[in-house]
Structure 1
Amino acid sequence: MARIIREVMSSDVEVINPNDTLRDAAEKMRSLNVGPLPVCDGQRILGMITDRDIVVRAIALGRDPNTTQVADAMSSGIEYCFDDDDVDSVLRNMKVKQIRRMIVVDRNKKLVGIVALGDLSGEVSEQKVGETLEGISEPSSPI
């Protein structure tokens, strides 16, 4: 069993530029069949945009996806882990922060991958994954 994140993460991560439009992001998500995309300006991670961000932070507010930039709807200050972090500590952080995916960086904070709860499910006990999912699924307060 893998004990560190680099052994289970997905290293082939597509990113999007903060100046791209929400339509560009949505099209990339559709073609890749993914919900989140890291937002990067070169090697620097600025945030994350999800399909939900596009709907809740833009479309629901009447913003035009053809002209609204990714930077206007993305989440900044994202949670990340290091590629040499142990699986158990990442699971704990996912539970506490209520997130299903986490950006993975090296010790120079360069993007090297992404890890999802599903990636970890075969690496720890079903009980730990279940507890993490339960914590992630706790209802949050309405906006």
Structure 2
Amino acid sequence: MKVADRMTRNVHLAAPDETIAQAAHAMAACDTGALPVGSGGRIVGMVTDRDIALRAVALGKGPDTLVREVMSVGVACCFEDEELDQVARRMAEQQVRRMPVMTRDHRLVGILSLGDLATGGEAGPAGEALRGVSRPCGTGR
């Protein structure tokens, strides 16, 4: 199975010069906890709800703080035509929960999350719990 078969396709791309308030609003609208950050047609980072909480709010930074100040850099990406099991192993080795998905010409086309991996097969009790937690809001919470 390929990454394209399981990835989430509708991905909002944050800009490094957006505020964390704008990023948080986009996360809420997309029902996600992370956004890839792009500049000049390239992925330059990821910003997560945890980044906002720990690198901004916990340090007393306000909602006008720029995404570039709190985002994680050095983002691991994968390609849509890669085998899902290989990318899942890379995610485990690199200890990442999400990976931006690119075309071979480096255009963002989706994101692959642990939830995406959990929604398609039997993985025991942990996989069942992750499948349940990974349901979009409004579907039984």
For the criterion TM > 0.5, the same-fold answer is yes
What secondary structure does 1:25 align onto? Answer: helix
Report the counterpart of residue 134 of structure 2 in structure 1.
Answer: none
Task: Quote the Cα distance in structure 1 between the aligned partners of 2:96 and 2:3.
Answer: 16
Number of positions where the alignment pairs a residue of Structure 1 with one of Structure 2: 127
RMSD: 1.8
Amino acid at match of 2:50: R
Report the counterpart of residue 63 of structure 1 in structure 2.
Answer: 61
Out of 74, 79, 100, the position equivalent to 1:77 is: 74
Q: Cα–Cα, structure 1 residues 122 and 24, in superposed 2: closer, same or farther, change >3 Å?
A: closer
Report the counterpart of residue 114 of structure 2 in structure 1.
Answer: 117
Task: Quote the Cα distance in structure 2 between the aligned partners of 1:106 and 1:45.
Answer: 12
Q: After TM superposition, give the deviation of residue 125 of structure 1 in Å.
A: 4.7
Task: Quote the Cα distance in structure 2 between the aligned partners of 1:24 and 1:35.
Answer: 13
Structure 1-normalised TM-score? 0.80
Q: Cα–Cα, structure 1 residues 86 and 125, in superposed 2: closer, same or farther, change >3 Å?
A: farther
1:14 aligns with 2:12: yes
Task: Quote the Cα distance in structure 1 between the aligned partners of 2:69 and 2:25.
Answer: 17
Report the counterpart of residue 37 of structure 1 in structure 2.
Answer: 35
- CA displacement 1:47-75 (0-9 Å, x = unmatched): 10000001111111111222x11011001
Structure 2-normalised TM-score? 0.82
Task: Quote the Cα distance in structure 1 between the aligned partners of 2:119 and 2:70.
Answer: 33
Task: Quote the Cα distance in structure 2 between the aligned partners of 1:60 and 1:51.
Answer: 12
Task: Quote the Cα distance in structure 2 between the aligned partners of 1:13 and 1:30.
Answer: 13
Amino acid at match of 1:23: A
Task: Quote the Cα distance in structure 2 between the aligned partners of 1:42 and 1:11.
Answer: 21
Q: Cα–Cα, structure 1 residues 111 and 62, in superposed 2: closer, same or farther, change >3 Å?
A: same
Amino acid at match of 2:53: V
Q: After TM superposition, give the deviation of residue 124 of structure 1 in Å.
A: 5.1
What secondary structure does 1:93 align onto? Answer: helix
Task: Quote the Cα distance in structure 2 between the aligned partners of 1:122 and 1:27.
Answer: 26
Identity %: 43
